[in-house]
Copies of this chain bind each other. A is one copy, B any other.
Amino acid sequence: MDNDIFKVDFKVRDYECDIQGIVNNSVYQNYLEHTRHEYLHHLGIDFAKYALEGINLIVIRAELDYKYPLRAGDEFYVDVKMERVSPIRFAFIQNIYRKSDDKLCVMGRIIGTALNANGRPKLPEEIEKIFDEAVK
């Protein structure tokens, strides 16, 4: 498995839009998260399963640049690429594009780590191996 760009397709749902008729800012984080979790799942990492086992993959920082708003009914796709930032931190570089014209709508840089059951940062060996493979 290489680090080719992983993509998920979406369509804006009306309830995700706010009074301004555009997708609410917080909802883009939902899109980014779903794409990351699908990506992790694709790599063999089940976010929900780990959560139930007390190993929490968590986000410690999010940077979001809102370039252009998505509107009701817009189709779009979100990609994700992983970079190692430190022994226990990974960055997910993610972009959201409108499908009709590939217009860049949101740029995200999400920094994550893993906490064990005691709340200490610790990347399970199994995950470490998969991540190392992914960022090659």
Contact = CB atoms under 8 A, between A and B. Distances in A.
Interface of A: 13-15, 17-22, 24-27, 29-30, 33-34, 37, 41, 46-48, 51-52, 56, 58-66, 69, 71-73
Contacts of A51: 19-20
Nearest to A36: B14
21 contacts: A14-B37, A15-B26, A17-B19, A17-B48, A18-B18, A18-B19, A19-B19, A20-B56, A21-B48, A22-B56, A24-B33, A25-B29, A48-B72, A48-B73, A58-B66, A58-B69, A60-B66, A61-B66, A62-B66, A63-B63, A63-B64
A24 B58 CA distance: 10
If over half of A's interface residues share one DSSP class (helix, strand or loop), that class is named, otherwise mixed; here it is mixed
Contacts of A18: 14-15, 17-19
